Chains A and B, each alone.
Chain A
Amino acid sequence: MDFIASLIAASIRAGTPLLFATLGEIITERSGVLNLGLEGIMIMGAMTGFAVSLITGNPWLGVLAAGVAGMAMAAIHAFFSVTLKADQSVTGLMLVLLGIGLTGFLGRSYIGQVAAYIQPVKIPYLSELPFVGEAFFNHDPLVYVAMLLVPLTWFFLFRTRYGMEIIAVGENPEAADTLGINVEKLRYASVLIGGFLVGIAGAHLSLAYAKLWTDGMTAGRGWICLALVIFSGWMPQRALLGAYLFGGLDVLSFKLQAAGVGVSYHLLKMIPYVVTILVLLISVIRGRDKFGAPSALGKPYIREQRY
């Protein structure tokens, strides 16, 4: 029992950065923009958050700064994708290179430093409960923020006008345009919001989860989030499940080893990707309409162009 409780706790811990970034990318992709640069944005967020926390001594300023840094990176993507109407895949990939390159270069002096961190909080009374206490009520505040963000994102996308416009822009930008919706502005907004959340994901990684900075520390999480967006069918609630699941796979191998069971770490790491491919395959073979993807995903919107 204890093993499972600590596994759940670890999965939630590990899955939180994934959740933040996935929710952000869901918003972005819902507007029709594909942002492959998550890995680069996340690591910029991780470094910026760490650096600001180190300098100011306040981890929450770090979190904010990380979000802003994420937004700045995303702004580059938005500019190229929306204004310059360039190919979104390439810009996104270049963001990854940029992020990894810049942080490797600029982040050198922060390696080995100790910044102000975000500590776990024991929720009074609830954290004393057997099993669920350890599993759910003993985490750092950002974990709970992420959980809250799930229904918030859902509400935003599906119950507010702004959100519905974003979805419309992602499904049929021409129609939205004729309805007077400003396609470009909405896409910019969703890319920036997405970038903000991805930056925060990075800050959680360096300030709350690992509590340190080292180059390359995102270790592929950005890519997993791209898979997670697909896995969750662009729905926030499924993202919650997926994030904790994928996060859990990451830590499962150590838990098993510590308990005396040997499982290949690498086979476990493969699972999120294989599962996502299977999910893709299944929904595509079933003939579901584009497996839930926003129809205009990845295509730049050019007003006078006819496809």
Chain B
Amino acid sequence: MHMRRIVLVAVLIAALFIAGCAQEAEKPAPTPTEQKTPTEEKKLKVAFVYVSPVGDAGWSYMHDQGRKYIEKVYGVETAYSESVSDADAERVIREYAEQGYDVIFTTSFGFMDPTITVAKDFPNVVFMHCSGYKTAENVGTYFGRMYQARYLTGIVAGEMTKTNKIGYVAAHPIPEVIRGINAFALGVKAVNPDAKVYVVWTGTWYDPAKEKEAALSLIDQGCDVIAQHQDSPAAQQAAQERGVYSIGYHSNMYEFAPKAHLTAAVWNWSVIYAYVIENVMKGTWKPEQIWWGIDKGVVDIAPFNPIVPEEVKKKVMEEKEKYLKHEVPEQYPFVGPIYDQNGNLVKAEGEVMTDEELLSMNFFVDNVVGEIPSSS
């Protein structure tokens, strides 16, 4: 009797198979990209793959703002998947490619290999990977010089701390995060050489409960300004709860912690998305590695909390002007003298770090307290 049931189910599956094939055959064939009637442009299909929920008020939220922008301004058809883990990324990217999307933005470092792998099978699709470094014929990368904004927020933190202990809740010890910490610390150092930046690793981009716990442990240690490289505002809330200050990240996190939030280092992806879509539409897209800074508006600092004193605001805006007016190299503040935690002079006075050195940064500057866990 078991066999009969098995046969029955097998027949059912076969029936489904046939039905599915028929279904797919009935669907109108997807418009091939080459076909363009002179009067009507085929709508560009753009997909976004996010690593955390869009509502995170952080990383994915800002990317989604960019998506909404190009949808509105360029009239493209967009879709997105959120909370895609690194392990699921290949499947999701592949799905979009299979479904005929023309441009796919993959917005997490961990999506790098899956993007490259899928791109090989779909040479006609444009893939843009955020925060990575691998490119291919149809794969470009894009990122922002967030460290510039981090530096500016570091100035605020350095000025506002009273205990001279500043906490930093950090996700993964990858160069991007380390770079942000260092730039922040350099900003602190510029106005307050006695202050130190304490780093706690959470090991996750997005886990609000963990982020909060990490922030609280820093506050318990005496830190009175909390900064973060995380995708949720949990650390900001922790700061507000305990009556200390905080620096937001990704978006303006003021509404989550109006008493604590001083400013934030924020993204504006619309600039880059607009650039890419325009190029694709005009057929001028090339696989480049886009890395734009505060002067192009890709990164910025959020409006100051009213409690930030005027002199501090002035100092920050002066430094920001230097970027806007190109008075300093793009890599500023990574201009020597820079010392690491062991006191070694990593960059001599006046020497500027190269982009390559920035991209592979794997040490902390001297006023950072914390370890970079490295593979043995």
Contact = CB atoms under 8 A, between A and B. Distances in A.
A touches B (Cβ under 8 A): yes
Interface of A: 2-3, 6, 10, 14, 108-114, 120, 205, 209-212, 214-215, 217, 219, 250-251, 254-255, 257-260, 262, 265
Interface string B28-66: 000000000000000000000000011111000100000
Given A111-B53, A219-B209, A211 B217 contact: no
A251 B83 contact: no
Contact of A209 (B209, B214, B369): B209
B212 A6 contact: no
B53 A112 contact: yes
Contacts of A211: 212, 237, 241
B216 interface: yes
B172 to A, nearest CB: 13
A211 B370 CA distance: 28
B198 interface: yes
A260 B197 CA distance: 12
25 contacts: A2-B220, A3-B220, A6-B220, A10-B216, A108-B55, A111-B54, A111-B56, A112-B55, A114-B255, A120-B241, A210-B208, A210-B209, A212-B232, A214-B56, A219-B209, A251-B213, A254-B210, A258-B167, A258-B198, A258-B214, A258-B218, A258-B220, A260-B370, A262-B371, A265-B203
Contacts of A217: 208-209
Contact of A258 (B203, B221, B237): B221
B220 A262 contact: no
Interface in B184-228: 198, 200-203, 206-210, 212-214, 216-218, 220-221
A174 B206 CA distance: 51
A219 B207 contact: yes
Given A6-B217, A14-B213, 5 more contacts: A10-B213, A108-B53, A113-B55, A114-B256, A120-B241
Contacts of B237: 211-212
Most buried by A among B55, B198, B203, B241: B55
Nearest to A5: B220
B55 A251 contact: no
A212 B208 contact: yes
B284 to A, nearest CB: 37
B373 interface: yes
Contacts of B220: 2-3, 6, 10, 255, 258
A215 B53 contact: yes
A258 B237 CA distance: 18
Contacts of A255: 217, 220
Most buried by B among A14, A112, A113, A215: A112
Given A114-B256, A210-B208, A258 B200 contact: yes
Nearest to A266: B203
Contacts of B370: 257, 260
Most buried by A among B212, B216, B232, B255: B216
A10 B210 CA distance: 12
A73 to B, nearest CB: 21
Contacts of B61: 112
Chain B contact residues (Cβ within 8 angstroms of A): what range? 35 or more
Interface of B: 53-57, 61, 83, 167, 198, 200-203, 206-210, 212-214, 216-218, 220-221, 232, 234, 237, 241, 255-256, 369-371, 373
A215 B206 CA distance: 11
A258 B168 CA distance: 10
A6 B371 CA distance: 23
B256 to A, nearest CB: 7
Given A114-B256, A260-B369, A10 B217 contact: yes
Contact of B217 (A205, A214, A254): A254
A214 B208 CA distance: 8
B261 to A, nearest CB: 13
Contacts of A6: 217, 220
Contacts of A10: 213, 216-217, 220
A250 B256 CA distance: 25
B217 A258 contact: yes
B296 to A, nearest CB: 28
B36 to A, nearest CB: 37
Contacts of A110: 55
A11 to B, nearest CB: 11
A210 B211 CA distance: 9
B124 to A, nearest CB: 33
A217 B52 CA distance: 13
A211 B206 CA distance: 15
Q: List 3 tightest A-B contacts by C-beta distance, closest first.
A: A112-B55, A111-B55, A6-B220
Contacts of A209: 209
Contacts of B212: 210-211
Given A111-B53, A111-B56, A210 B218 contact: no
A259 B213 contact: no
Nearest to A205: B209
Contacts of B202: 254
A259 B256 CA distance: 27
B170 to A, nearest CB: 10
A108 B256 CA distance: 18
B208 A257 contact: no
